[in-house]
Amino acid sequence: MKRADEEFCRAQFDAFVKRFFISTDVIWEEVPQQDEPPDYYLLLKDTRFAVEVTTLIEKVLVGTSVFLPYAVTGRILQQFVSEIENTARTEGYLRGNYLVSFSRPIDDFATVRDNIRVKLLEHIQSTSHLEQTSLEIIFEHTVTQQRPQQCGVQKVGNKPDRVVLGGPVQMKWEGDAAEDICGLLNKNLDTKAGKLKDISEPKILLLLDEYQFADRQMYARCTYQLPSLSSFHTVFVTEDANKGFVLCSQNHDWLK
């Protein structure tokens, strides 16, 4: 059974190619995991393609040696804040709207989680009678040559009774995003070209865009910096539902 991201990319590309071929001329063959690569074979009329799927995702350093995707760190912090809200509500002192913010992911969060939890709950309980409060930094960890890792909490109003996550907010300057996406593309294309080098069929690479900071123009400007691009018949970028675009293809009709 394929992963959800692989099936999502396959479905997006299937919808794309059916703009050029009738459905009966589009036949997918799922490759068992033990026989990969590729992830799929695709028969388009009389031509058989090897189809590989990968994800473009930027990771953030958590601690001294562990990298996690931004989405994963965000889910961890969101779950933590939801637990704070549930505890304060159950204990009966959640009165008002609280904003919990993290300046950036915290190194070794598991080791300081309980300490932050206690301080957040103490703040919510001690300010339950107040209408608003200023931001209070309840945790700070300084890292050399990096922005301090902070957790802050603020009561922003009397209603509704809730605790919400207000950060970290991921932002990129346009130049940084353009540089990042070229690096991510280069790395992924090199890796997949090497992985598929012994396969004789023309190769299609489906890229799931989880980077989020680059637009299509940034992708297009990278194509001149990607030596491994020539290894693929087509590179197709899937975004969200019903959206995707061809980054490059030997089929000129697909580029229109």
Last residue of a domain, one of 99, 134, 165: 165
Task: Please answer whether residues 72 and 85 qualify as being in contact, where contact means their C-beta atoms are separated by less than 8 angstroms.
Answer: no
Q: Which residues contact 47 (CB under 8 A, 6 or more apart)?
A: 202
* Residue-level pLDDT at 90: 95
pTM of the model: 0.60
Residue 24 lies in a domain: yes
Residues 161 and 222 in one domain: no
Residues 113 and 159 in one domain: yes
**Which mean pLDDT values do the consecutive 10-residue runs of the chain (256 residues) have?**
85 93 94 92 95 77 46 73 94 94 78 92 95 91 75 90 76 61 88 94 91 76 89 90 85 90
What radius of gyration, in Å, describes the C-alpha atoms of the chain?
24
The count of domains in the chain is 2
Residues 177 and 50 in one domain: yes
The domain that holds 219 is classified in CATH as: 3.40.1350
What DSSP string runs through 66-129?
EEEEHHHHHHHHHHHHHHHHHHHHHHT---SEEEEEESSPPTTHHHHHHHHHHHHHHHHHHTTT
Last residue of a domain, one of 165, 192, 207: 165
* Residue-level pLDDT at 72: 57
* Residue-level pLDDT at 67: 44
- CA–CA separation, 87 vs 100, rounded Å? 15
- Residue type for position 77: L
